[in-house]
């Protein structure tokens, strides 16, 4: 049973590693404005390559595209924002994660970007660890039994 679990984890982590590396490379080939797949009317997934990084992007507005930072509101001399936001949330960019959510009475706009180095490093580690359990442990066991004969 343990052997089956190790085999399954090793296979799954290797497949996910290959998918992550493929997405990483696609980020440099496919333009951000065209490089997304629409899973629903308000949920899209794309990739974006820049510098030494590539990111997987989740966003809601296909016409606007993923929010990368631009002017979406104006402030008057009294400090009033137009349009008025019902919600305005933000996180990052910290540790390769970037999140923005803007909501007014008329529209919503959100974007989540995750640096693909995170899954690449994680699945590389898991694949290497399960490989070590699968291949190196039996070698060590056979050596330890040979020395006691």
pLDDT in tens, 25-59: 988 887 766 678 889 989 999 888 888 888 899 99
In a domain, 148, yes or no: no
Total domains present in the chain: 1
Structure tokens at 41: 């009317």
Return the bridge partners of 87, or none.
103
In a domain, 42, yes or no: yes
Residue 82 sits in which domain range? 2-142
Q: Is 27 exposed, middle or buried (0-12, 13-18, 19+ CB in 10 A)?
A: buried
- Name the residue with higher pLDDT: 2 or 23: 23
In a domain, 149, yes or no: no
Question: 48-61 burial, b for 16+ CB within 10 Å, e for fewer?
Answer: bbeeeebbbbbbbb
- pTM assigned to the model: 0.72
SS3 at position 60? coil
What does the pLDDT average to over 69-93? 77
């Amino acid at each position: 049973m343990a052997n089956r679990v190790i085999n399954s984890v090793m296979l799954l982590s290797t497949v996910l590693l290959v998918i992550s590396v493929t997405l990483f490379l696609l980020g440099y080939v496919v333009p951000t404005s065209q490089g997304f797949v629409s899973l629903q009317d308000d949920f899209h997934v794309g990739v974006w390559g820049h510098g030494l990084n590539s990111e997987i992007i989740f966003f809601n507005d296909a016409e606007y595209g993923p929010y990368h930072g631009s002017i979406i509101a104006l402030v008057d001399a009294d400090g009033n924002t137009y349009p008025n936001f019902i919600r305005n949330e933000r996180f990052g960019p910290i540790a390769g994660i970037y999140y923005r959510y803007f909501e007014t009475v008329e529209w919503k706009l959100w974007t989540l970007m995750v640096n693909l180095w995170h899954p690449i490093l994680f699945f590389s580690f898991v694949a290497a660890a399960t490989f070590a359990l699968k291949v190196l442990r039996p070698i060590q066991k056979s050596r330890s039994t040979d020395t006691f004969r």
